[in-house]
Amino acid sequence: MPRGKRGGRVSALEGGGEEEAPPAAAAVPRALWVSPQPPEAAAEQVLLRGIFEIGRNSCDVVLSERALRWRPIQPERPAGDSKCDLLCKEDVIELKDVFSVKLKRRYFAKQQRNGTLLGITLFICLKKEQNKLKDSTLDLINLSEDHCDTWFREFKKILAGFSDRPKSLKVLLNPQSHRKEATRVYYEKVEPLFKIAGIKTDVTITEYEGHALSLLKECQLQGFDGVVCVGGDGSASEVAHALLLRAQRNAGMKTDSTLTPVRAQLPLGVIPAGSTNVLAHSVHGIPHVITATLHIIMGHLQPVDVCTFSTAGKLLRFGFSAMFGFGGRTLALAEKHRWMSPNQRRDFAVIKTLAQLKPEDCEISFLPFNCSQDLQQNNCSLPLPLDCNDQWQMIQGQFLNVSIMAIPCLCSVAPRGLAPNTRLNNGSMALIIARNTSRPEFIKHLKRYASIKNQFNFPFVETYTVEEVKVYPRNKTSRHNPEEVAQLHETASEKSFPWNVDGDLMEVASEVHVKLHPRLINLYGGSMEEMSDSQVTCNCL
């Protein structure tokens, strides 16, 4: 194997390019390869076979349509030698886990091109524990230009066959997210991997709240395979809302009234760079930048349910989750103290809202989840909820908090999720109601979210699986007076109730109608494993 010389550098570049490849990927440990040979392996067509140096061993390498296999070449030994059998064990990597291939060259000081060929580098996506993905490399060392060129072209041909992987992305970056770290996160961790994968990007740095919304209404997206948001929950929700509004406009639908929406035309990738990252955590099972980036590169798509929020027959926005009462008032208070750091602002708002805890006098109507029909259509294997019904139901009273969630809403202070029984695309929402109770009891309920105990096991907490919800505050106007409802809607800034919709403040003066729309948008992400029940200490109570 060629050894490095003083003053030289090694680069894995396609065709011997002029710049050094980013050192983003680490070499793959042998223990991570899939060694057992599947029964169908023998039937696979062999495309190429040759000798490469892998690690410190000369190996017999076989490339088939689905996998790359290699076995160390050993001198002849007596039959039945157990040490020989162990050393000659075959290693395998599936080609669906490879996201790029480069020619590996050594460049000496001040040398820009025509470096010395060392072999081929494969860039691989590895699955780790707890839903985490990791990028890694495998070097196939061979000094023959012709030999490496033949293999390199075959690898490129195979990778080109993965047509669902994005080739061009529109990136929206919120530089204000979580201590202004989003810019560093993107350019240090995300962009290098996009470059290795050969993905073209067009980056726009948003300058104000609502910038992404206005931009996506007008910009041309025909040449892009997807949109990526680098930021927190507010930024991700704004981009998702904008993509869905754009889809309705392109379909010729009016967006100023209640509608049956069409699906978003482009998938959305969310790079977690905020303070909570609920959406990214729920989609990937972990708020991990590299995991989110690799899901985008590999083209893993996950259809996700979305809600419409409307009032007085007018569409307010699209979203994934909402809280009314304690959750809305906490966010409204936090927004008035933007000069604080995110964690300080959140903790201050939670403590002060608890100190001034008061219930909302509401009437809540909901349509229970028609599980028998929807589960049959989606072939869902989830257990049937107990409240399957197709008739509207109504409850009223004093409520401390009302949560409506179409996704599990995983986050650091709720590792099992704010709605742990909800899935990303099971066609239902979780309606969680906390009736009026004492402050100590309500605090116990909040603390339960951070533990493995059932946070709903309180006499004042009710949960329902629903398709639609209407929340009407009864201490403002008469429900059956449309003129008064419309008038209050116009003066919402003076007489409104705060809602927390995906971390964004929404103020509405009258009834809010929340309706679920199954699989309305595709997000880049894989299917989650069941999260392990690990106890986490809440840092805000």
Q: Compute the residue count for the chain.
A: 541
Instruction: Print burial letters for 282-303: b (CB count within 10 Å at least 16), e (below 16).
Output: bbbbbbbbbbbbbbbbbbbbbe
Q: Are 177 and 274 in contact (CB under 8 A)?
A: yes
**Can you list the positions of beta strands (E) in 257-392?**
268-272, 301-311, 314-319, 321-325, 360-368
Dihedral sign for Cα 234, 240, 244, 250, please. Answer: positive
Give, for all 541 residues of the chain, the pLDDT tens digit: 444 444 445 566 544 443 444 444 556 655 455 545 555 555 678 999 999 999 889 999 999 999 999 999 887 666 655 555 555 688 999 999 999 999 999 888 776 677 889 999 999 999 988 889 999 999 999 999 999 999 999 999 999 999 999 999 999 999 988 777 889 999 999 999 999 999 999 999 999 888 999 999 888 899 999 999 999 898 999 999 999 999 998 888 877 766 789 999 999 999 999 888 999 999 999 999 999 999 999 999 999 999 999 998 889 999 999 999 999 999 999 988 878 877 788 889 999 999 999 999 999 999 999 865 544 444 444 444 444 556 899 999 999 999 999 999 998 888 889 999 899 999 999 999 999 999 999 999 998 888 877 888 899 999 999 999 999 998 654 444 544 444 434 333 456 899 999 989 999 988 999 999 999 999 999 876 533 333 333 333 3
Q: What is the pLDDT of residue 129?
A: 83
- Predicted local distance difference test score (pLDDT) of residue 28: 61
Q: How high is the pLDDT of residue 477?
A: 46
| Burial state string for 317-350 with b = 16 or more CB within 10 A and e = fewer than 16 | bbbbbbbbbbbbbbbbbbeeeeeeebeebbbbbb
Question: How many CB atoms within 10 Å of residue 480?
Answer: 7
- What gap in Å lies between CA 248 and CA 238, rounded to an integer? 15
Can you tell me whether residue 219 is helix, strand or coil? coil
Whole-model pTM: value is 0.84
Q: How far apart are CA 179 and CA 433, in angstroms?
A: 33
How far apart (Å, rounded) are the C-alpha atoms in residues 280 and 270? Answer: 6
- Number of neighbouring beta carbons within 10 Å of residue 179: 12
Nearest CA among 455, 394, 402, 465 for reference residue 433: 402
Phi, psi (degrees; rounded to nearest 5) at 125: -100, 120
* Angle subtended at Cα 298 by Cα 297 and Cα 303, rounded to the nearest 5 degrees: 100
> In terms of Cα–Cα distance, which of 371, 240, 366 is closest to 303?
240
The neighbouring-strand residues paired with 306 are 517
Strand pairing of 461-473 and 360-368? antiparallel
Q: Which residues contact 404 (CB under 8 A, 6 or more apart)?
A: 307, 321, 322, 323, 324, 429, 430, 431, 432, 466, 469, 471, 514
pLDDT for 11: 60
Q: What is the structure's pLDDT at 24? A: 45
Q: Specify the pLDDT at position 516.
A: 95
DSSP string, 108-153: ETT--SSPEEEEEEEEEEEE-STT-EEEEEEEEE---HHHHHHHHH
Tell me the C-alpha distance between 447 and 431, whole Å. 19
